[in-house]
C-alpha cells in the first residue's frame, strides 16, 4: 500500500522557492503547493521588453543579470529547461575623474597614487585569512582604521570594488572582513587574483543570463504540467495555526476571496521580514531574534537610454588623463587594448567597453551610485551586432542606474535623467551584508531551520547571489527528505557547506541513493 504523501507548502516563487519545489517534485512522496503573492514566478529575476529597432534587442534582464563560474546549480537549472548562460569578459569602471578612477582593463593614475596601500592590502588579506574568525567578523570600516589605511584608499578603491561584486551598496563599510578576504583568496569565489601593483587586473570570465522572465515562466509550466506541482500566484498568505498536527495557512486572492488549507510542513522562501509577517503571532522568540537581525534597504533601478546622463556620472571611455604611464610591456599592451576600436567578439568586446560602474557622491565619499551598460554586458545585444562589428552608438544603448537606500534620497540625482528616455523603474528590497548578519543571522539559522514544521530559504540566509538562493531551496528540500542529485564536485561542496552553515547538518553521500 502506497504511503500517504506529505503535503508541503513552498511560499515564495523566486529562485529559492522554485528550486525547492523542483527538488521536492522529483519524489512521489511529496504533494507540493507553490504560493506567491506576485502574478509571476521568478522573484527579482525579471525581464523587460525593449524596442529592438531602437536598441538592437527585444528584451533585457532588469533585476538579476549574471554571475560567475561558481553558479553551478543555476546553470544546471537553466540547462534542464533548455537555456544557457553566455560568457562575457568582465570590464569595470570605478569612480569619476582622474583623481578617483580605476579599472581592471588598464592602469590608472589612481592605482599609481595608492601603490603602497595596495601592497599593504595584500598583506592584510593574509592576516584576515589566518586570523579568522577574529578579523573575519570585523567590519571593513574597522579593518581599514585598524591597519591605518587612508580614507581615500577605502572610499575610492576598496569599498566600490566590494560593493559592486556583492551588491552591498552603501552598506559596504559594514560588511564582514571575511567576505572581503574570500573575494580575493577563495579560488572558486574570486574574480581576480590579488594584483599587488593594480589591485585588480585582467578580464575575468563572467556569465550573462538568458531571458529570465521567459525561463521562469517555462520552469513554472514544467512544474505544473510535468511534475504535478500546484502553483498559486497572486495569493497573500498568513499562518493561522502551527503545531504538532501541521500548518494551517490562510490564503487571500487579490479579489478578496479567502481559503484555509492544512499542510504537513512549510518552507518560507520569502525575505526575512516578510517571513516574520507571514508567521505573525506564531513566530517563536528564536525566529524573531534570527530573522529580526536581517537589515533591509530599499533601492531603485532606473532603466533608460540617456547616454548624456550616464557619461556625465561615469567614466565610459579610455581618456588619456585617466591612464597611467606605460612603464612596462604589460602596461603598454593593456593601454593598447583599451584604446583599440571597439568591435564585438563572442565573449565580449575589444577596446574599453565597461559593463559595471560606480561613482561616489562628492558630499559623502563612502556613498555610491551604481550603474550598468547593459548593451555592453548582456549577450543578446552582442548577438544583434554580430561578431567583428562595432556596437550601437551610445544613445542606442540601454543603461541602468541604481540609486541606493531610500532613506538617502537627498543624494540621488535621478531627476537629471531624461524622463523621455526612461524605459522602466523598479524598487528592490535588498538585505545588507553587515557584520552583524554573520554574527547573528547566519549562525542562528541552524536553530530555527526544521523546527516547528518550518524551513527557511533565500539568498538572505547567507550571501545575496542567485546561486545561493537556488542552493538554499535545494537544501530545504533535502531536509524534508528529498535527494540531492550530485552533478559537479564544486557544486556538491558548496551545497555541503551551505547545509552545514545554515542547517547544522552534514551532507551524507549515501543519502543520494534514497528514493
Write the pLDDT tens digit of every residue in 341-383. Answer: 999 999 999 999 999 999 988 888 888 899 999 999 999 999 9
Q: Which CATH architecture has domain 6-46+212-296+435-503?
A: 3-Layer(bba) Sandwich (3.50)
Look up residue 361 and give its three cell numbers.
557622491
- Report d(CA 324, CA 337) in Å as an integer: 14
Residue 191 has a pLDDT of 74
User: How far is the CA of 293 from the CAs of 200, 390, 417, 435, in angstroms?
Assistant: 33, 49, 36, 11
Residue 1 has a pLDDT of 38
Greatest C-alpha distance within the chain: 79
Whether pLDDT at 513 is above 60? no
Kindly provide the residue ranges of all beta strands, DSSP E only, lying in 409-495, ordered along the sequence. Answer: 422-431, 454-456
Count of residues in the chain: 515
Whether pLDDT at 3 is above 70? no
Element (H, E) at 275: helix 272-279
For the entire predicted model, the pTM comes to: 0.93
Residue 137 has a pLDDT of 86
Pairwise pLDDT comparison (104 vs 196), residue with the higher score: 104
pLDDT band at 512, cuts 50/70/90? Answer: low
**Cα 497–Cα 86–Cα 106 angle in degrees, nearest 5:** 90
- Report d(CA 189, CA 268) in Å as an integer: 27
Q: Are strands 66-67 and 344-345 parallel, antiparallel or unpaired?
A: unpaired
- Tens of pLDDT along 460-485? 999 889 999 999 999 999 999 999 99
Whether pLDDT at 438 is above 80? yes
Whether pLDDT at 33 is above 80? yes
Residue 514 has a pLDDT of 45
Whether pLDDT at 316 is above 90? yes
Say how many Å lie between the first and final Cα of the chain, rounded: 16
Whether pLDDT at 184 is above 80? yes
Nearest to 133 by CA among 419, 344, 487, 439: 439
Whether pLDDT at 168 is above 80? no
Residue 133 has a pLDDT of 82
The domain segmentation of the chain, as residue ranges, is: 6-46+212-296+435-503, 49-210+301-406+427-432
Residue 510 has a pLDDT of 67
Residue 458 has a pLDDT of 97
Name 48's bridge partners. 60
Neighbouring CB atoms inside 10 A of 185's CB total: 16
Q: Are strands 47-49 and 59-61 parallel, antiparallel or unpaired?
A: antiparallel
For 286-321, the three-class secondary structure string (H helix, E strand, C coil) is HHHHHHCCCCEEEEEEEEECCHHHHHHHCCCCCCHH
- Report d(CA 366, CA 271) in Å as an integer: 27
**What mean pLDDT value characterizes the chain?**
93
Residue 183 has a pLDDT of 80
User: How far is the CA of 328 from the CAs of 109, 197, 199, 274, in angstroms?
Assistant: 15, 12, 16, 54
- Tens of pLDDT along 188-223? 777 777 888 889 888 999 999 999 999 999 999 999
Q: Phi and psi dihedrals of 486, rounded to 5?
A: -75, 135
Element (H, E) at 142: helix 140-146
Amino acid at each position: 500500500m502506497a504511503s500517504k504523501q506529505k503535503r508541503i507548502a513552498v511560499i515564495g516563487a523566486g529562485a529559492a522557492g522554485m528550486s525547492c519545489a523542483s527538488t521536492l517534485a522529483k519524489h512521489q512522496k511529496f504533494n507540493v503547493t507553490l504560493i506567491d503573492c506576485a502574478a509571476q514566478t521568478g522573484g527579482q529575476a525579471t525581464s523587460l521588453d525593449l524596442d529592438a529597432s531602437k536598441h538592437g534587442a527585444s528584451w533585457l534582464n532588469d533585476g538579476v543579470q549574471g554571475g560567475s563560474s561558481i553558479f553551478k546549480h543555476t546553470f544546471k537549472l537553466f540547462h534542464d529547461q533548455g537555456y544557457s548562460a553566455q560568457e562575457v569578459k568582465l570590464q569595470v569602471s570605478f569612480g569619476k575623474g582622474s583623481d578617483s578612477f580605476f579599472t581592471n582593463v588598464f592602469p590608472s593614475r589612481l592605482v599609481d597614487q595608492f601603490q603602497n596601500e595596495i601592497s599593504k592590502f595584500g598583506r592584510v588579506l593574509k592576516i584576515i585569512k589566518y586570523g579568522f574568525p577574529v578579523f573575519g567578523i570585523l567590519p571593513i570600516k574597522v579593518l581599514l582604521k585598524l591597519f591605518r589605511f587612508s580614507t581615500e584608499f577605502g572610499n575610492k578603491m576598496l569599498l566600490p570594488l566590494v560593493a559592486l561584486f556583492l551588491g552591498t551598496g552603501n552598506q559596504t563599510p559594514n560588511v564582514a572582513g571575511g567576505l572581503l578576504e574570500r573575494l580575493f583568496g577563495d579560488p572558486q569565489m574570486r574574480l581576480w587574483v590579488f594584483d599587488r601593483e593594480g589591485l585588480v587586473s585582467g578580464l575575468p570570465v563572467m556569465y550573462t543570463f538568458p531571458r529570465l522572465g521567459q525561463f521562469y515562466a517555462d520552469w513554472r509550466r514544467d512544474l505544473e504540467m510535468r511534475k504535478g506541482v500546484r502553483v498559486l500566484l497572486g495569493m497573500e498568505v498568513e499562518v493561522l495555526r502551527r503545531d504538532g498536527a501541521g500548518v494551517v495557512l490562510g490564503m487571500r486572492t487579490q479579489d478578496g476571496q479567502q481559503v484555509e488549507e492544512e499542510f504537513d510542513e512549510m518552507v518560507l522562501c520569502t525575505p526575512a521580514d516578510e517571513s516574520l509577517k507571514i508567521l505573525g503571532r506564531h513566530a517563536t522568540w528564536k525566529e524573531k531574534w534570527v530573522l529580526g537581525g536581517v537589515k533591509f534597504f530599499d533601492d531603485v533601478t532606473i532603466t533608460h537610454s540617456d547616454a548624456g546622463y550616464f557619461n556625465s556620472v561615469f567614466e565610459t571611455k579610455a581618456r588619456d588623463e585617466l591612464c597611467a604611464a606605460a612603464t612596462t610591456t604589460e602596461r603598454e599592451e593593456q593601454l593598447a587594448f583599451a584604446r583599440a576600436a571597439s568591435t564585438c567578439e563572442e565573449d565580449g568586446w575589444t577596446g574599453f567597453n565597461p559593463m559595471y560602474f560606480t561613482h561616489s557622491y562628492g558630499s559623502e565619499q563612502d556613498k555610491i551610485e551604481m550603474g550598468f551598460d547593459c548593451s555592453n554586458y548582456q549577450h543578446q545585444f552582442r548577438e544583434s551586432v554580430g561578431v567583428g562589428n562595432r556596437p550601437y552608438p551610445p544613445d542606442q544603448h540601454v543603461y541602468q542606474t541604481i540609486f541606493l537606500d531610500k532613506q538617502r534620497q537627498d543624494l540621488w540625482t535621478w531627476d537629471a535623467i531624461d524622463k523621455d528616455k526612461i524605459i522602466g523603474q523598479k524598487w528592490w528590497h535588498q538585505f545588507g551584508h553587515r557584520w552583524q548578519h554573520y554574527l547573528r543571522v547566519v549562525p542562528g539559522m541552524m536553530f530555527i531551520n526544521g523546527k516547528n514544521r518550518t524551513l527557511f530559504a533565500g539568498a538572505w540566509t547567507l550571501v545575496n547571489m542567485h546561486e545561493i538562493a537556488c542552493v538554499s531551496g535545494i537544501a530545504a528540500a533535502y531536509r524534508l527528505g528529498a535527494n540531492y542529485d550530485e552533478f559537479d564536485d564544486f557544486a556538491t561542496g558548496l551545497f555541503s557547506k551551505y547545509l552545514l552553515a545554515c542547517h547544522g547538518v552534514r551532507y551524507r553521500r549515501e543519502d543520494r541513493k534514497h528514493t
